Amino acid sequence: MSDITTPQTADAAAAATAPVLTVDELTIGIGSRKNLKSIVKGISLTLTPGRIQGLAGESGSGKTVTSLAMLGLLPSNAVVGGSIRLNDTELVGMTHRQLNEIRGRRIAMIFQDPSSSLHPQLTVGVQLTDHVTRHLKLSKKQARAHAIELLERVRVPNPAEALARYPHQFSGGQRQRIAIAIALACDPIVLLADEPTTALDVTVQAGILHLLRDLADERQLAVLLVTHDLGVMSAIADDIAVMRHGEVVESAVRQEIFANPQHAYTRELLASLPGAAGFEEATE
């Protein structure tokens, strides 16, 4: 597992690869026109193929809202300023119809709790194929074969049988693997992961993180990993941005953040970890 905690080749490759998603001076306010509450106050980020960008911060710091903005999934009373570009396409200001061509197809997302993010009344097979037939114009049969391949890749046992089953018939860790398979089904270039292991047992967290790292490497996915847990960050993130009160207070490659934190808030967060060895153990 030491190879996933230190992706040596990634640093060199990153310099050569252009970012696929660029967030520039993003601002998000929520509320009525007269009573707008500013949630995100001008943050900038880039996501690069094959790299995992961590976005850390306590709850309420604006990190989840930032990830939702990238898919245009904010509530209708949200006001978004600044720019989010996917390659050269500006996403801010797009209509839902336009965004639907990007959601799931170019940018996919996995959520915190797979027991609520998977539809309890739809089989795994339906949830793994309904967007595939829409985006990739595959036939039902092709989509099914594709779905079996995906489940194999995320290591869900008996993929063909699993398609006919419902989410509640799987363990929490397997559900999140299924959610990852759904996210990857249309071969997106960006994956947003919002606290992907927070709702899971500690024993299965490492497996999910390992899988995300492997998928980022082999598919050259640009991953945004949103979490409050620096232990999770230390396990798989390449770069880390620390958010507080809607602003990025510090942003650097992972080793830099852990070895030499510049901002007082980052040091506070690090100090709250259960001992220096704590976050290394979390990956085992």
Instruction: Give the interface with other proteins as residue ranges (CB under 8 A).
Output: 71, 73, 96, 99-105, 108-109, 111-113, 116-122, 126, 130-131, 134-135, 157-158, 161, 164-166, 168-171, 173-174, 179, 182, 204
| DSSP secondary structure letters along 154-214 | TT-SSHHHHTTS-GGGS-HHHHHHHHHHHHHTT--SEEEEESTTTTS-HHHHHHHHHHHHH
Between 158 and 272, CB nearer to other proteins: 158
Provide the minimum distance between the beta carbon of 140 and other proteins in the complex, in angstroms, as a whole number. 14
Cβ proximity to other proteins: between 163 and 249 the closer is 163
Smallest gap from residue 257 Cβ to other proteins (A): 28
Minimum gap (Å) between residue 279 Cβ and other proteins? 24
- Cα separation, 180 vs 177, in Å, equals 5
DSSP secondary-structure letter at 19? P
Rounded CA-CA distance 86/55 in Å is 18
Query: Which residue has tokens 């300023």?
Result: 81
Q: Which is nearer to other proteins, 105 or 228 (CB)?
A: 105
Shortest Cβ 151–other proteins spacing (Å): 13
Instruction: Name the helix (H) or strand (E) containing 42.
Output: strand 36-47
The phi, psi pair for 56, rounded to 5°, reads -105, 160
Task: Please identify, using beta-carbon distances, which residue of 29 and 114 lies nearer to other proteins.
Answer: 114
**277: its two tokens:** 């060895």
The CB-of-166 to other proteins minimum distance in angstroms stands at 4
Please say which residue, 8 or 95, places its beta carbon nearer to other proteins: 95
Return d(Cα 191, Cα 106) in angstroms, integer: 9
Q: How far is the CB of 113 from other proteins (least distance, A)?
A: 7
Instruction: Decide whether 58 or 113 has the Cβ nearer to other proteins.
Output: 113
- State which amino acid sits at residue 63: K
